[in-house]
Amino acid sequence: MARDEKLKKRWETLVEKLSLRFADGAPLDLDGIIYLIGVQELGQLHRRFKKDEKLNLMHIAICRLLLPYGYYELDFVDNDGWPHYKIKAQLPNLKAGEQSILMKEAIVNYFLEHEFIR
């Protein structure tokens, strides 16, 4: 199976599993999945977040997802448990479609690492 086909199949499986678990089957979009990863990384699963905190959760997720690619590294975790990352390498200029593929690949790898999908 070609790399792109494998990514597509894994992405579809992941969206289906997450949607069933967190959205009553309604398909989650990329932003929704990034938000879930942010909540997971923060580890404060059972609380409500304010609008600015939700944006921060998405930032945490993106940093964590791009960490294995060498773009970010964990700097410290503050007293409230929020991780802070610093930039290691500048992100390349990517077209929208290329950004989407990079993020989907990073998300799939994240959930493979956590053994949520195979």
pLDDT digits (tens, 9 = 90+) for 47-60: 899 999 999 999 99
Are the C-beta atoms of 99 and 34 separated by less than 8 Å? Answer: no
- Delimit the domains of the chain by residue range: 3-113
Beta strands 72-77 and 83-87: pairing type?
Answer: antiparallel
Are the C-beta atoms of 85 and 76 separated by less than 8 Å? Answer: no
Task: Tokens for 47, please give them.
Answer: 């609380």
- Burial class of residue 13, CB neighbours in 10 A (0-12, 13-18, 19+): middle
pLDDT digits (tens, 9 = 90+) for 66-79: 999 999 999 999 99
Confidence of residue 118 (pLDDT cuts 50, 70, 90): confident
Cα–Cα distance between 46 and 43 in angstroms, integer? 9
Q: Which positions ≥6 away from 48 have C-beta within 8 Å?
A: none
Kindly report the number of other CB atoms within 10 A of residue 85's CB atom. 18
Task: Tokens for 116, please give them.
Answer: 């949520």
Confidence of residue 3 (pLDDT cuts 50, 70, 90): confident
- In three-state secondary structure terms, 83 is strand
